[in-house]
Structure 1
Amino acid sequence: MKILALLSSLLLGLAPVAYVHAEESKQPSDRVPETLGFVEWVVMNDTMLRLKARLDTGAKTSSLHATNVEEFTRGGEEWVRFQLPLGDHEDQPTEGEVDHDEVVLEFERPIHRTIRIKRKGADSQRRHVVKMEFCIAGTVHETQFSLTDRSNFSYPVLLGRRFMRDDNILTDSANSFIAQKECDYSTLEEIAKLDVAE
């Protein structure tokens, strides 16, 4: 039986409690350039969900694995609802009590913008873009994520040039997981216990 964790605090815009040790984000001009590997761990700020992220200078906009993407209207504004099945990328640390396939997180976010992606040998694809906070290398950032099904890719998160430019990040293309600081994260069991919205 699948556990559907609908995160009510996210939907109502309440301030999430996610990090104890993460540094607050700084303006790019205040930050010394930081070099990260071409793959690093990120932790989504509102759930403490840990995912592998590929830093990709070939992509302008970051992207996040999302399925069952649905548009809806809230308060006269365009929003999007989407799911993140943890079984598609089994990156979350577990104590062995819950299977990744049993946990599906559901999010709702205002649509920041919509983009059209040109794909070689295929029709162009329309994607919604949302803003989300995440922690990488001990620091919290916010960036734009296009929502797309990344279940066939090795990494559920792709961080593009906009994030790297705005946050003064350099990429070491020969190494991975070289961040000097870590972000706090939850186990799969802790995430599965998140309150279900009424």
Structure 2
Amino acid sequence: MNLEKDRDLNDLKIIGSEEWCVFDQLGIPAIKARVDSGAKTSSIQATNIKVYNKGGVDWVKFDVNPIQENRSINIECEAKLVDRRSVKSSLGISEERLVVKTPVTIGDTTFDIELTLANRDTMEFRMLLGREALNQRYMVNPAQSYSLQPFSDSDIAEKYKSFIKEKTGLKIALLASNPNLYSNQRLMEAANARGHEIVFLNVEHVYMKLDANSPEIRYRGGNVLNEFDAIIPRIKPAVTFYGCALIRQFNNLGVYCLNSAEAITQSRDKLFASQLFSKNDIHIPTTGFAKSPMDTKDLIRMVNGAPLIIKLLESTQGKGVVLAETNKAAESVINAFKSVQTNILVQEFIKEANGQDIRCFVINGKVVASMQRQAEKGEFRANIHQGGKASVIKITPEEKKLAIKAAKVLNLAVAGVDIIRSNKGPLLLEVNSSPGLEGIEKATGKDIADSMITAIEKKLKFIN
């Protein structure tokens, strides 16, 4: 009996801890896979997942970026849908994933494999090879790597040569402060992937010349910036005034700006934005504003008393937002802010929301993605930057209409619209003119950066 088992083991091929996989039917010439016998099913990185019906059978279209940290290579795939499964992620969170079946080639062996379509952007490998694919075929030697198919860098470059687009597109500038932020890196990748030239401009290193005959914008060291087709402004609150002055100057020179200076300015002024929302019949939590400390008690009563929210007029990412749980605490915080000449808003606290809110990402009058954010235990604000958890959500038609209208009222082409569900229906919390991409891309699997670049192309009537 033991001899028979030994013979069976000898028939198994040795596979390393990482291997190259080839998917001819999907059109993927090579993708690195992490071999993981602890995982039951195999999975592959996929975005823009869409189920459709062909001949009475469900199929799936999805995009794969097979090379880690390189979104310029994008492969559109389609395969027959074979299952929907609840899969537990490495974080212990269960989620439903679509399952497709397709042939895979590893070394000189080709066999059918089931793959769950997953968002693996944060993982080291674009693919995971689970034990269902390994059973009766391979024995894992974790000390080896790429033992069955050792492609070199030049092999991979040759295989993907036809996927690399020539740069014949637009010239775009990303006007921001930190090139290493996820959102900024993704926008750079997306523009490159669509064949555009994009450069990062540090907003504080750009300066301008105001002149009736020859106005200019220059960059660190005297370089004249006069060739851009479009600007993507991602201005942090600390440089709103200067950044918006630059955006106006670019606009004066005929450069398209994805969000205008006026739209950004009014979105950053929470009082002015709230007044615009009220004027346009957009429902928000009851909000109060006052100057004199003598009005503090009535201000608190006006928003239905404690608990209540106190906001700095230019707060962002959950900073400068305080929950006062009692009237006495509210008085102390409000008067403390007023004593240092800081303008604040006082807003009713929506208790029934249970620390949840919804972020809708709006681009050119369309909600392209939505996520629900859940506050960390003990926190009242569902902000990703402060430990909140994000998950995909299907919004109601009423919430969709509210998000689109809020962005339109502020004249924002790109906006992150935050909505809270209350007993009175959906209420608008605020609108962000430089919404982050990381949380919503990872929660929904949608390529928001690509949608932003596409919006620029449509505006400029660019045909690739």
TM-score band, normalised by shorter chain: 0.5 to 0.7
Change (3 A) 1:120 1:176: closer
Q: What is the Cα deviation at residue 136 of structure 1?
A: 0.8
Q: C-alpha separation between the residues in 2 aligned to 1:147 and 1:127?
A: 6
Partner of 2:119: 149
Aligned pairs for 1:3-22 within 5 A: none
Q: Cα 1:86–1:179, aligned 2, differ >3 Å: closer, same or farther?
A: closer
Aligned 8 A contact 2:31 2:66 in 1: no
Query: What displacement does 1:173 show?
Result: 1.5
Q: Quick one: which of 142, 149, 174 aligns to 2:143?
A: 174
Match of 1:114 in 2: 84
The offset of 1:190, in angstroms, is 2.6
The reply to whether residue 60 of structure 1 matches residue 32 of structure 2 is no
Alignment deviations for residues 137-187 of structure 1 (CA, whole Å, 9 cap, x no partner)? 222121100000111111111111111115x211002221222787x9752
TM superposition score normalised by structure 1:
0.67
**CA–CA distance in structure 1, aligned partners of residues 86 and 13 of structure 2:** 31
Bigger helix share: 2
Inter-CA distance 84–48: structure 2 relative to 1 (3 Å threshold): closer
- In the alignment, what sits opposite 1:76? 56
Question: Mean alpha-carbon deviation: is it higher for 156-165 or for 42-51?
Answer: 42-51
Is the CA contact 1:73–1:79 (under 8 Å) kept in the aligned structure 2?
yes
Deviation digits for residues 121-141 of structure 1, max 9, x if unmatched?
664211011011121122212
Question: What is the one-letter code of the residue matched to 1:72?
Answer: Y
> 1:134 aligned to 85, 96, 104, which one?
104
- Give the aligned residue type for 1:163: A
With over 3 angstroms needed to count, the CA separation of the structure-2 counterparts of 1:35 and 1:102, relative to structure 1, is same
Change in Cα spacing, 1:189 to 1:35, as seen in structure 2 (3 Å) is same
Match of 1:43 in 2: 22
Q: CA deviation at 1:119?
A: 4.0
Cα distance in 2 for partners of 1:170, 1:122 equals 27
Contact 1:138–1:181 under 8 Å retained in 2: no
CA contact (8 A) 2:102 2:113 kept: yes
Is residue 163 of structure 1 aligned with residue 160 of structure 2? no
CA contact 2:42–2:128 (8 Å) conserved in 1: yes
> C-alpha separation between the residues in 2 aligned to 1:180 and 1:103?
21
Superposed displacement of residue 32, structure 1: 1.9
Structure 1 distance, partners of 2:118, 2:16, is 23
TM-score (norm 2): 0.30
Tell me the distance in 1 between the aligned counterparts of 2:133 and 2:31.
17
Deviation at 1:192, TM superposition (A): 4.9
Aligned with residue 159 of structure 2, among 187, 192, 197: 187
Query: Number of paired residues?
Result: 152
- Look up the equivalent residue of 1:51 and give its one-letter code: I
Q: Which residue of 1 aligns with 2:11?
A: 32
Which has more radius of gyration? 2
1:10-66 superposed Cα distances (whole Å, 9 cap, x missing partner)? xxxxxxxxxxxxxxxxxxx9x921011010111122325211111111111110111
How far apart, in 2, do the equivalents of 1:62 and 1:49 lie? 18
> Against the structure 1 CA distance between its residues 107 and 187, is the aligned structure 2 distance closer, same or farther, given a 3 Å change threshold?
same
- 1:25 is aligned to none
Kept in 2: contact 1:49–1:191 (CA 8 A):
no
5+ residue gaps, structure 2, are: 1-7, 166-464
Deviates more, 1:53-62 or 1:184-193: 184-193
Q: Does 1:125 align with 2:125?
A: no
Aligned to 1:96: none
In 2, Cα distance between the equivalents of 1:85 and 1:137?
22
Distance of 2:54 and 2:133 partners within structure 1: 28
Output the CA distance in 2 between the equivalents of 1:187 and 1:64: 19
Q: 1:134 to 1:120 in 2, by over 3 A?
A: closer
Identity in percent: 29
Counterpart Cα distance in 1 of 2:50 and 2:63: 10
Contact between 2:36 and 2:129, CA under 8 Å: does it hold in 1? yes
Letter in 1 for 2:71: D
